[in-house]
Amino acid sequence: MTGKTGTEALVLVSYGSQGVVLMPDGERKACKFRRKVGRPFCGDRVLVGRADDESLVAETILPRKNCFVRADERQRQHVIAANLDQVLIVVAARPLPSRDLTERYLVAVHSMGIEPIIVLNKTDLEVPEDETAAGASVLEHMPEYEALGYTVIRTSCKTAPGIAGLQSVLQNRTSILVGQSGVGKSSLINQLLPDLDIQTGALSTSTGKGTHTTTTTMLYQLTTGGYLIDSPGVWEYGIWKLENAELAAGFIEFKPWLGQCHFNNCVHATEPGCAIKQAVAEGNIRDWRYRSYLRLLEQNV
In the chain, domain spans: 2-61, 67-201+208-234, 244-299
What pLDDT is recorded for position 138? 84
Nearest to 224 by CA among 166, 177, 157: 166
CATH number of 2-61: 2.40.50.140
What pLDDT is recorded for position 1? 47
Write down the CATH superfamily of domain 67-201+208-234: P-loop containing nucleotide triphosphate hydrolases (3.40.50.300)
> What's the pTM value of the predicted model, to 2 decimals?
0.90
Q: CB under 8 Å to 52, separation ≥6 — which residues? A: none
Residue 286 CB-density burial (10 A; 0-12 exposed, 13-18 middle, 19+ buried) = middle
Q: Which residues pair with 45 in a beta bridge?
A: 10
Angstrom CA distances, 175 to 10, 124, 227, 295, stand at 14, 24, 6, 29
What pLDDT is recorded for position 210? 54
What pLDDT is recorded for position 2? 46
pLDDT by residue, tens only, the chain of 301 residues = 444 568 999 999 998 889 999 999 999 999 999 889 999 999 999 999 987 777 799 999 999 999 999 887 777 888 889 999 999 999 998 888 888 889 989 999 999 999 999 999 999 988 766 555 566 788 889 999 999 999 999 999 999 999 999 999 999 999 999 888 889 998 999 999 988 887 887 777 665 555 545 568 899 999 989 999 988 755 556 677 889 999 999 999 999 999 999 999 999 999 999 999 999 999 999 999 999 999 999 988 6
Q: Which residues pair with 227 in a beta bridge?
A: 174, 221
CATH number of 244-299: 1.10.40.50
